[in-house]
Amino acid sequence: MPHNCLYCQNKAALDELMIKIADLKVSTLYLFREQTHRGRCVVAYKDHVGQQFEIPENEWLQFMLDTRRAAIAIDKAFHPDKINFGAYSDTLKHAHWHLVPKYADGPEWGGVFAMNPRQTYLSEGEYADIIAKIKENL
């Protein structure tokens, strides 16, 4: 596993970007600290694989079910108009999904979400409230 993988080796950098919500069956659910899109999360596969198709076949469906479970929890908690799924990993080679709730009257509606717009950061209490709402629905 690469020494610089955010999910595997770089806990300090990971903690700057995300807050762990829960371990799922074969992945971990994180809240993205940048909350331009309320409830934005990341589902990261438990082991280091660079591409999603490298996830062992016997765990691929469970990874997708983990992702589905997280998306359902976000939907129940925040009622977005749409949840965008993004699997961009040009520079971060670890299988993961971005789950980005989009709202019809909100930023980037009708377009592609920015990876990290660095616009909306919350207090620790606000992060805790979002996490609690997601956990209630997992």
Over the stretch 15-64, which tens digit does the pLDDT of each residue have? 999 999 999 999 999 999 999 999 999 999 999 998 899 999 999 999 99
Greater confidence (88 vs 89) lies with 88
Q: Which residues pair with 96 in a beta bridge?
A: 44
In the predicted structure, residue 1 carries a pLDDT above the cut 70: no
- What average pLDDT does this structure show over 70-89? 95
Can you list the alpha helix ranges (DSSP code H) found in the chain? 11-17, 57-78, 124-137
Query: Quick one: pLDDT at residue 11?
Result: 83
E strands within 3-102?
A: 18-23, 27-32, 41-45, 82-86, 96-102
Query: Quick one: pLDDT at residue 120?
Result: 96
Which residues 6+ apart lie within 8 Å of 15 measured at CB?
A: none
pTM score, two decimals? 0.94
- Label residue 2 by pLDDT band (50, 70, 90): low
Top-level CATH class of 11-137?
alpha beta
pLDDT, the chain, mean: 93
- Label residue 132 by pLDDT band (50, 70, 90): very high
Q: Which residues pair with 23 in a beta bridge?
A: 28
**What is the C-alpha separation between 61 and 43, in angstroms, rounded?**
14
Query: Quick one: pLDDT at residue 92?
Result: 78
Residue 23: φ, ψ to 5°: -85, 135
- Count of positions (residues) in the chain: 138
Among candidate residues 100, 94, 28, the one with its CA nearest the CA of residue 63:
28
Locate the domains of the chain by residue range.
11-137
